[in-house]
Structure 1
Amino acid sequence: MMDRAAARDAATAVPGVPRDAEGPVFREPWEAQAFAMALVLHARGVFTWPEWAASLAQEIKRAQAAGDPDTGETYYRHWLANLERLIAVKGVTTADTLHRYRDAWDHAADRTPHGQPIELKPEDFAR
């Protein structure tokens, strides 16, 4: 479960976070998971909220320059892209490792029946 106080602090510190009176709101579970990962990495000192906000603003500008209509529906896609880029820059992981896991998740999703949980298996990394 997400720490409500930390989520509220993040939603206040980072402009543009979709929220209601109680804090951040999410359209899909993966959005909440990406948000929570950023909370944990911030709490561990990987980045400050001002650093995150500046980096996220750059990510959104890049997406807009590439044609993103910026209607709000893609906000957490930018959040996730920023998370991936920032943790690679900070040395938490590498871009190669991120790509390896993304490819493994794609493979696992392809073999998983609709509505079933996706589970990574060693063979998903063999591709």
Structure 2
Amino acid sequence: MTTNTQAATRATVEIPSIPCDAEGPVFREPWEAQAFAMAVTLHERGVFTWTEWAAALAAEIKRAQAGGDADTGETYYRHWLATLENLIAEKGVTTADALHRYRDAWDHAADRTPHGQPIELTPADFAHHT
């Protein structure tokens, strides 16, 4: 078992809400796996504990449910990503402003990229941040 596989397995034990099958975590989209991997990596680097993560994720899901999220499981990794963004801003890994700048630049890059082509973020994409 590789270190990444071991870390993912530990995460699924510590965070029982992670969608899994017999082989481990299950993702519907590539970005979900990437968000999962980022959280595992940041945990391994000591940015947060799984207990801290679980509490932040539970709070994020409660906020979303209070706002009308139907909690069908399809939005689980959207909550995961929001939790990741909130925690790294809280921990000083980055700022909320930097996250917004990158999100806006990514949106701009996606808008100009033809369907089916890889999205490439360029300095010009950041010029459109308002």
- Shorter-normalised TM range: over 0.9
- What corresponds to 1:64 in structure 2? 65
2:46 equivalent to 1:48: no
Shift of 1:2: 8.2
Structure 1 runs (4+) deviating above 4 angstroms are none
The letter of the residue matching 1:38 is A
Over the matched positions of the two proteins, sequence identity in percent amounts to: 77
Q: Deviations over 1:59-98 (max 9, x none)?
A: 0000000000000000000000000001000100000000
Shift of 1:15: 2.3
- What corresponds to 2:75 in structure 1? 74
The letter of the residue matching 2:122 is K
- What corresponds to 2:21 in structure 1? 20
Q: Relative to structure 1, is the Cα distance of residues 28 and 51 closer, same or farther in structure 2, using a 3 angstrom cutoff? A: same
Are the aligned partners of 1:15 and 1:53 in contact in 2 as well (CA < 8 Å)? Answer: no
The whole-number CA distance in structure 1 between the counterparts of 2:5 and 2:116 is: 29
Structure 1 portions without partners, runs of 5+: none
The whole-number CA distance in structure 2 between the counterparts of 1:6 and 1:88 is: 23
TM-score, with normalisation over the residues of structure 2? 0.95
SS at match of 1:3: helix
Q: Relative to structure 1, is the Cα distance of residues 2 and 29 closer, same or farther in structure 2, using a 3 angstrom cutoff? A: farther
- What corresponds to 2:126 in structure 1? 125
SS at match of 2:114: coil
2:103 equivalent to 1:108: no
Structure 2 portions without partners, runs of 5+: none
Q: Deviations over 1:2-52 (max 9, x none)?
A: 811111110110121000111100000000000000011000000000100
The letter of the residue matching 2:20 is R
SS at match of 1:120: coil
Are the aligned partners of 1:2 and 1:36 in contact in 2 as well (CA < 8 Å)? Answer: no
What is the root-mean-square deviation of aligned Cα atoms in Å?
A: 1.2
The whole-number CA distance in structure 2 between the counterparts of 1:106 and 1:60 is: 24
